[in-house]
Chains A and B, each alone.
Chain A
Amino acid sequence: MSPELVLAATSTGEAITFWVLGPLATIAAVMMVTARNAVHAALFLAAVMLSLAGLYAAQDAPFLAAVQVIVYTGAILMLFLFVLMLVGVDSSDSLVETLRGQRLAAFCVGLGFAALITGAVVGGVLQDDGTVASVGLDAANEEGNVVGIARLLFTDYLFAFELTSAMLITAALGATVLAHKERTEPAVTQRDLARRRFSGGGSPIAPPGPGVFAGRNSTATPALLPDGSEAPTSVSPVLAVEPYQAPSEGPSAVRGAIEPTPQEEP
């Protein structure tokens, strides 16, 4: 660090980048916190992370921008979506307040908190004339950003860097142990399944498939029995059973009635 501070003014392009990505990140973050569906929240979080990657790139940190995209949006967010799919998408919580006034109180405290940390962080760098005495990374990035970071990482921070490898292995092992399910009963074989099916516990035949092409393209559409009623076993219980809606072109097109073909006059 040089003792004399060189004022590195931000360029117009950077201002445009900031004013596009900054509001985008803020709006996406608000949407993430208020989203009812957890998958939507994950996608909004992806938007925030990609915007932040853009802001890193604008701030002379191309390595971190790449790592942000690869590690956060690529790995961590996919892990989130994976667990969401395992836990079940319908586990999104209701937005009903259990504590009365909690949301309003949290909002007020949040405003104060934002003002406080903004004051603390910005007040630390802002000078009396309203500018920031920024040195800029041109000197530090002289050999390239990646080289500069590598130089630090493998000299001053080598021990911490090696420790992270131990931490990652511990985390991987811990996750394996936590996610491992001990089998408490013997595995169900084909023979057991067949016996269960024929001993009165269930249907000996496979359940009917959904009425996918009967009017709509969704597997949540129940199949229709020959008498026109819906077959309840044809839809997976995981899916919400949609009530059957007859398409506008008339029920005969769906229910498989054979239209009388016009006989050509000889």
Chain B
Amino acid sequence: MNESYYLILAALLFTIGALGVVLRRNAILVFMSVELMLNSVNLTLVTFSRINGDLEGQVMAFFVMVVAAAEVVVGLAIIMSIFRSRRSASIDDVNLLKY
């Protein structure tokens, strides 16, 4: 095996996460799928860091983690406030911005 296996795994996980975003209708599950996609990109960054012998990829992955933490906090707060007003966590119900 070589390092490209990690990249294939990361691509696979990214695709599964994207499918989750497209297919699921529970807002929290969609959010979890986004987290999965972020994680798979982190794996790619770490692998590239190793291939290039440079720690900058790991620093980049570290920043992704920090941004993901902030994003989750705000996103879950939005889901909470939507749930509080509409009693639903389904993203099909939140279509009011269309009109």
Binding site for B on A (CB under 8 A): 1-2, 9-10, 14-15, 18-19, 22, 25-26, 29-30, 32-33, 38, 41-42, 45, 48-49, 52, 55-56, 59-61, 63-64, 67-68, 71-72, 75-76, 79-80, 83-84, 86-87, 91-93, 98, 102-103, 106-107, 110-111, 113-114, 117-118, 121-122, 125-126, 131-137, 139-141, 145, 148-149, 152-153, 156-157, 160, 164, 167-168, 170-172, 174-176, 178-179, 181
Contacts and interface: CB of A to CB of B under 8 A. Distances in A.
Most buried by A among B50, B83, B92: B50
B67 A164 contact: yes
B50 A137 contact: yes
B76 A157 contact: no
A59 B6 CA distance: 10
A149 B56 CA distance: 8
A111 B55 CA distance: 32
A166 B35 CA distance: 22
A45 B32 contact: yes
Interface string B48-59: 111111111011
B96 interface: no
B97 interface: no
B19 A64 contact: no
Contacts of A132: 2-4, 51
A42 B20 CA distance: 13
Interface in B33-57: 33, 35-36, 39, 42-44, 46-56
A186 B26 CA distance: 33
A157 B44 contact: no
B72 interface: yes
A29 B77 contact: no
Given A48-B13, A55-B9, A76-B35, 13 more contacts: A1-B54, A33-B19, A33-B24, A61-B50, A63-B62, A79-B72, A102-B23, A113-B15, A118-B11, A135-B51, A149-B58, A167-B67, A179-B80
